[in-house]
A and B are shown apart, each in its own frame.
Chain A
Amino acid sequence: VTKFDFTNEYNATSIHAQGDQYFIDQVSKLTKGDVQITLHTGGSLGFKSADNFYAVSDDAVQIADTLAGSMAGIDPIFLVSSLPFLVKNEKQAEDLYKIAKPYYQKIFAKNGQILLYASPWPASGIWSKKTVTNKQELANLKIRTYDKNGTLTLRDAGADPIKLSWADVVPQLSTGGIQAVLTSADAGASGKFWEHLDNYSAIQYAIPLNMVHMNKDEFDDLPKKDQQAILKAAALTDKHNWQAVKTRVAENYKELVAHKVTIHKDLPKPFIHWLQESAKPSLKEWLKDTGQPGQTIIAEFEKSK
Chain B
Amino acid sequence: MDIVLTAVAVMTLIFVVLGLGVWVFSGLAIVALLSLVLIGDVSFHRAGAILSRIIFSAGNSWELSAIPLFILMGELIFRSDISDRLFKGLEPWTKKLPGGILHTNVFGCALFAAVSGSSAATTATVGKITTTELKKRGYNRSLSIGSLAGAGSLGLLIPPSLVMIVYGIQSEVSISKLFMAGILPGILIALLYSGYLIIRALMNPSLCPPENVSQISKLKSIVLLLPVISLIVIVMGAIYTGIATPSEAAAVGVFATLLILLKERQLSFAMIQEALIATLLSSTMVCSILITAALLSTAMGFLHLPSELARYIANLHLSPAWLLFALAIFYIVLGLFLDGISITVMSLPITLPIVVQAGFDPLWFGVFLVILIELGQITPPVGFNLFVLQGLTGEKIGQVAKAAFPFFILMCTAALILCLIPNIALWLPNLLSPN
Contact = CB atoms under 8 A, between A and B. Distances in A.
Nearest to B45: A59
B240 A167 contact: no
Interface stretch (A43-51, A87-95, A96-104, A275-283): A43-51
Interface string B232-245: 00000001111111
Interface of A: 5, 11-13, 38, 40-48, 50-51, 54-55, 58-61, 164-168, 170-172, 174-178, 190-192, 195-196
A60 B53 CA distance: 8
B247 A168 contact: yes
Contact of A195 (B50, B242, B342, B433): B433
A60 B50 contact: yes
B172 A167 contact: no
A61 B50 CA distance: 7
Given A58-B53, A176-B242, A46 B46 contact: no
A177 B50 contact: no
Given A47-B57, A60-B46, A175 B349 contact: no
Interface stretch (B107-115, B162-170, B195-203): B162-170
Nearest to A42: B345
B303 to A, nearest CB: 10
A85 to B, nearest CB: 28
B170 A42 contact: yes
Interface string B38-74: 0000000010011001100110001100000000000
Interface stretch (B82-90, B294-302, B315-323, B378-386): B294-302
Nearest to A190: B172
B169 A175 contact: no
B346 interface: yes
Q: Which 5 A-B pairs have the closest CB atoms?
A: A175-B242, A177-B242, A58-B49, A46-B298, A168-B245
A168 B172 CA distance: 15
A172 B174 CA distance: 14
Given A44-B345, A177-B243, A170 B175 contact: yes
A41 B172 CA distance: 14
Given A40-B301, A47-B53, A177-B245, A170 B168 contact: yes
Contacts of B244: 177
B176 interface: yes
Contacts of A40: 301, 346
Contact of B348 (A42, A164, A167, A178): A42
Given A11-B170, A42-B349, A45-B301, A164 B57 contact: no
Contacts of B342: 44, 46
Contacts of B402: none
B247 A172 contact: no
27 contacts: A5-B302, A11-B169, A11-B170, A11-B171, A11-B172, A12-B348, A42-B345, A45-B298, A47-B54, A59-B46, A60-B46, A60-B53, A61-B50, A167-B162, A171-B179, A171-B239, A171-B246, A175-B240, A175-B241, A175-B242, A177-B242, A177-B244, A178-B242, A190-B169, A190-B172, A191-B172, A196-B176
